[in-house]
Structure 1
Amino acid sequence: MPARQQTMPFGAAVERDGAVRFRLWAPAARQIELCLKHPAGERWLEMQATGAGWFELRTTEAHPGTLYSYRIDGGIEVPDPASRFQPHDVHGPSEVIDPAAFDWGTHAWAGRPWHEAVCYELHIGTFTPAGTFGAAIERLDHLVALGITAVQVMPVADFPGRCNWGYDGALLFAPDASYGRPDDLKRLVLEAHRRGLMVFLDVVYNHFGPEGNYLHLYAPQFFTGRHHTPWGAAINVDGPGSREVRAFFIHNALYWLNEYGFDGLRLDAVHAILDDSHPDILTELAETVRAGPGRHRHIHLILENDSNAAAYLTRDDSGVPRCYTAQWNDDFHHVAHLIATGERDGYYADYADRPLYYLARSLAEGFAFQGEPSAFRHGEPRGEPSAALPPDAFVNWLQTHDQVGNRAFGERLHTLTSPEALKAMLAILLLAPSPPLLFMGEEWMAQTPFLFFCDFGEELARSVTEGRRQEFAKFAAFADPAVRRSIPDPNDPETFARCKIDWASSREPRQQEWLAFHRKLLELRRREIVPRMERIRAGTADFILLGDQGLSVSWVLNDGTRLMFGANLSDTELRLPEPSRLVGATLLHLEPPDAGPALNANRLPPWSVAWHLKDEGQ
């Protein structure tokens, strides 16, 4: 199999004759020196200014494994912003990596079509006790047996310290050394592919982490004061100097897809990428990927976008995504969580007046908010019309790193609701046409929390700890400062340790029951629904509300079959209207299974869901 290497205009590249070319964009610097850190001592070489802020040097004194750094104007040494590996963390030297050295073997892999996607989000550091790429390989067979087809890896770009969620990455091309070396990550992708699993990577293009990024010293053009984000000055993707900045992020996307063989990317919080240019960077990135690796294999680009911008998700006449494959559907989660738990704080308040309507709309049309004002956002309109999009343009879930980890104590959903309510919601999630996503350990109701954790330097650590606790001051339960002090310290090593999945507990009888429940539903999805899903048509879904207790949603699949469910999402029995639509339909799944007699009597017990398939020709 040919070597996989992303050719880039920056960074360290091993050339065919063994020489290494170093290239850095440093428009604010007068002089750049390359420092090669050999075992016998350091070697300083002045780089040549080639114009437009670029510095370059080609040398035979470096080779794969050589550590190096750049010295700016005779002063501070910095790592390579395009470093492929940082063995000594974000403040240390970079290492020359030869991508061609990894043996990908002969396994043929062109990816999987999107309609087969069942996603599983995991954090490398807490997914296993060892918290490494290699250890994650040992759990891939579990995911296959569960019915997962796509592993969604939280960000791995080099972050400061020993642990982090990954959204504070400082060096975006370097897998964090705490997880292993670049070849270890490639081996994880390769082993997943050998098992038929797609692998997606979460990437962060809206900001750099608060520690370990030195771009402001020699390339301040990476940032702009014209736009502001929750993290400060925005990334400059539309002002002077933005061509090089855009290339940096677009090459990063291509790098993970080409050099590591990832099957797709999840772009974090793109609503915070502020861009007034046309085409904007999101469009340019997607078009570049579609014209590149997307021409030869299945590549799936997923958005997290609080703006609910449907325009990024459009399909061509044959149903193929023009830019982005799908978006994480916050609306589905928020309203499903509200119904299951009764919680109405924060953004859940937006859905409290008509929860069943919002749930039904998110299932049938994608977004619950399609331009309506959001009270949580001070009355600002949110979203765009999405009913013309197919259901596979939206990834639905009940738990993710955000929705568990952004709680003060990292509680998982099963601790906040009843088993009956949770099973009803899972029956909807796992059998609806939209690709479902599970969060690591959710399939067997893992007892470990998922807390917010990091490992910053002392001063920043104090600020983060206090800021984290202050975030909850607006909630009544945390009004007392003493209660806020009980919120786990993100920088305490024990906070991180508590989040590691306890796989031994998955063998307990109750956990095995939950695991069997998930497997049963995902096997039903694979057998009965997925074969009818390819390029599913948009605009065929409809829904009705069953009073203030239930709802019914249906979709026409690609073979003309109508998939439909009715649900009672309340604590009291629901009497159904005349079930004319169910005449000739086949019962696909009933939750709970003993609800059959009630369903035959035209009733739905509390927290029950009935799925049917019907040939519309009947």
Structure 2
Amino acid sequence: MGGLNAWGPEPLPGGATRFRLWAPGAPQVVLDCDGTHLPMTPQDDGWHVADHPGGPGTRYRFHIGDTPVPDPASRRQHGGVHGWSIVPDHSHDWRVPHWRGRPWHEMVIMELHAGTLGGFSGVTQRLPVIAALGVTAIQLMPINAFAGDRGWGYDGVLPYAVHEAYGSPAELRTLIDAAHELGLSVFLDVVYNHFGPDGNYLGLYADRFFHRDVATPWGGAVAVDEAPVARFFIDNALMWLRDYRFDGLRFDAVHAIDNPRFLDAMAAEIRAALPDRHVHLVLENEHNDAARLRADGYDAQWNDDFHNVMHVLLTGETSAYYADFADRPAERLARALSEGFIYQGDPSPNQDGRPRGTPSAHLPPTRFVSFLQNHDQVGNRAFGERLTRLTDPAKLRAATALMLLAPQIPLLFMGEEEGSDSPFLFFTDFHDELADAVREGRRREFAKFAAFADPDARERIPDPNAPDTFAQSHPQPGSDALAWRTFYRDLLALRHEHIVPHLPGAVVLGAQVLGDAGVIARWRLGNGRQLTLAIDLADAPAPLPQDAGSPPIFTTDERFAAWVE
């Protein structure tokens, strides 16, 4: 610990604490510890430092002129993102102290929103059922502190602090410990590309934190080329992995960071810091940048291309970004299964014909995370509909079987394993003018869709700030929940028996189109056996190929079959 660029409170011998703040735009900063004011000492490059005898549990904040602000690297808050920061206590009696994680090829991930599941304690109670299904990892949507009680977490403003409404840091550690006892890895979704609109004070005293002349959907780009800014995020990643023992991180929308050198440096430092654990790093990257997916970099990327073409085949929707997948969808699915990315430098109609992506056929299939649903793809719909409301059940079963038995790493979204048809909506907890702006902005987003061209139609889109919008988003089992759970459990049992042990060294043998909505794909597994998957999502499917030398290990509704020979 320590050093000029270290953020957040640092324990000192004897129980005291050293406080630091990077405030290059503030000539003077005052530390306020429970009402005791102490001028901080300016140091090089805009840092301000002060020591105080208060230890864990001490409430503190900084004063920039007449404005009190929380520590941007606060580990815990009292009274929300505008309230007091608290000196943390990282002690915990870990029940599984020697947990080292699971190798990447064993991952079957379920994405969870802690708030809709009853906070950290609610998630902890669900873990045995999740593990019994055959899932090997959970991924929490962002849990950093954001304004209000309800939200997705991507509007966070204090990346180091656990969101109060979800529970305490101790309860989060208990959740992770319980998961490890069950053999589950735990991932966290982190957001390093922007801050939310309510509670971000950095611009008040650290304007260099942002490049105001580089536009992103959230304002000026985060200046990760500044050493203190890079340190802020890299140390945040290390905090979650060390202090809480998360097994991996999913980095949200790194295309909005648009700095491969920073991404590579962050991955390298994390790898060097934790060489004896299975720590996994996953990207969301609209640029489809295959160069980041290498052994010393990032384990995998969320493959939106796979989702998008599957969504077109399942629903027939071709609006907005689905237009990029409307033409020849079966051919595009074959490319996703055999090469990973569909867009590998090809012109994107949805992006005015600009090329998107880089070649990815050389990468192993486990570099790609496949999904049929996630928080974005469900929650960014106007009414948050799941696939159970958008497609034929037989098609959905076939698509699910393809996702769970293909060599790519599968990701589930909470509730899909129970056939949930409850929505997952976009919800926030803003107030006054900001609440109005978010509600109206949300409705304007859908004006380009034919179904919402009429302003009266847009008025039906749920208000993100209404408490009922959040309440509706709690996943509820579908009417045929038992059948769906059995379906997922059986498929995952087959995956763990026939596929997972032999994913290291697996190579693609090719994929061919079967009609307008069908594909057959083949891989050579690491043990030399061949995995063959065939699917047809046409309204009137043709008979699947029967040229395999042995009976299939799994079939469904004459739309899907899997062989291992």
Aligned residue in 1 for 2:448:
474
1:493 is aligned to 467
List aligned pairs for 1:165-564, cutoff 5 A. 165-238=152-225, 242-275=226-259, 280-293=261-274, 295-314=275-294, 321-502=295-476, 505=477, 508=479, 510-533=480-503, 535-538=504-507, 540-564=508-532
Which residue is 1:78 aligned to? Answer: 69
Whether contact under 8 Å (2:498, 2:564) holds in the other structure is no
Pairwise CA distance, 1:536:
2.7
For 1:596, the equivalent position in structure 2 comes to none
Cα distance between partner residues in 2 of 1:546 and 1:573: 10
1:527 maps to a residue whose letter is E
CA distance in 2, matches of 1:402, 1:19: 44
> Could you report, residue by residue, the CA deviation over 1:425-449 in whole angstroms, capped at 9, with x for unpaired residues?
0110110010111100000111321
Residue 52 of structure 1: which of 40, 45, 51 is its match?
Answer: 45
CA contact (8 A) 1:150 1:197 kept: yes
Shift of 1:6: 10
1:575 deviates by 4.6
1:568 alignment partner in structure 2:
536
Distance in 1 separating the partners of 2:250 and 2:272: 18
5+ residue gaps, structure 1, are 315-320, 593-604
Q: Which residue of 1 aligns with 2:107?
A: 117
**1:164–1:453: 8 Å Cα contact kept in structure 2?**
yes
**Aligned residues of 1:206 and 1:234 also touching (Cα < 8 A):** yes
CA positional deviation for 1:50? 2.0
Secondary structure, counterpart of 2:224 in structure 1: coil
Structure 2 residue runs without a partner (length 5+): none
Amino acid paired to 1:436 = P
Partners of 1:125 and 1:163 within 8 A in 2: yes
Give the distance between the partners of 1:193 and 1:43, measured in 2 at CA.
Answer: 42
- Opposite residue 9 of structure 2, the aligned amino acid is A
Change (3 A) 1:612 1:106: closer
TM-score by length of 1: 0.89
> How far apart, CA to CA, are the structure 1 residues paired with 2:311 and 2:368?
17
Distance 1:157 1:399 in 2: 23
Tell me by how many angstroms 1:167 deviates. Answer: 0.2
CA distance in 1, matches of 2:253, 2:523: 29
Deviation at 1:274, TM superposition (A): 2.6
Compared CA separation, residues 158 and 355, structure 1 to 2 (3 A): same
Q: Aligned to 1:111, what secondary structure does the other structure show?
A: coil
Query: Out of 26, 29, 33, which is 2:26 matched to?
Result: 29
- Return the index of the structure with the highest Cα Rg: 1
Identity among equivalent pairs (%): 50
Question: Is the contact between residue 249 and residue 280 of structure 2 (CA under 8 Å) also seen in structure 1?
Answer: yes
Contact 1:404 1:411 in 2 (8 A): yes
SS of 2:215's partner is strand
- AA aligned to 2:498 is E
Does the aligned pair in 1 maintain the 2:388–2:421 contact within 8 Å?
no
CA contact (8 A) 1:6 1:259 kept: no
- 2:77 match: secondary structure: coil
- Name the SS of the counterpart of 1:456 in structure 2: coil
Structure-2 change in CA distance of 1:426 and 1:576 (3 Å): closer
For residues 477-516 of structure 1, what are the alpha-carbon distances to aligned partners after superposition, in whole Å with 9 as ceiling and x for unaligned?
11111111010000111111111223xx46x5x1111111
Residues 35 and 45 of structure 1 are in contact (CA less than 8 Å); yes or no, is this contact kept in structure 2? yes
1:69-96 CA distance string (max 9 Å, x none) = 1011x31010001000012111011011
SS of structure 2 residue aligned to 1:280: helix
Query: For residues 518 and 322 of structure 2, what CA distance do their matches in structure 1 show?
Result: 19
CA contact (8 A) 1:544 1:553 kept: yes
Question: Which amino acid in 2 is paired with 1:248?
Answer: F
Q: Secondary structure at the match of 1:527?
A: helix
SS state of the match for residue 286, structure 1? helix
Equivalent in 78, 81, 85 of residue 90 of structure 1: 81
Moved more, 390-399 or 11-20: 11-20
Q: State the partner residue of 1:66.
A: 58
* Offset, 1:537: 3.8
What is the deviation of 1:107?
3.7
Q: Does 2:150 correspond to 1:163?
A: yes
TM-score when scaled to structure 2? 0.97
Q: What is the aligned partner in structure 2 of residue 595 from structure 1? A: none
RMSD: 1.5
* Pair 413,28 (structure 1): closer, same or farther in 2 beyond 3 Å: same
Report SS of the residue matched to 1:574.
Answer: coil
Residue pair 1:71, 1:78 contacting (<8 A) in 2 also: yes
Do 1:13 and 1:98's aligned partners in 2 also have CA atoms closer than 8 Å?
A: no
Number of residues paired by the alignment? 564
Residue 576 of structure 1: how far off its partner (Å): 5.7
CA separation of 1:187 and 1:573: change in aligned 2, threshold 3 A: closer
Aligned equivalents of 2:278, 2:544: Cα separation in 1: 43
Residues 1:613 and 2:564 are matched in the alignment? yes
C-alpha separation between the residues in 2 aligned to 1:257 and 1:57?
27
1:586 Cα deviation (Å)? 4.4
Cα pair 2:307 2:372 within 8 Å, conserved: yes
Task: Assess if the C-alpha contact under 8 Å between 2:18 and 2:51 holds in 1.
Answer: yes
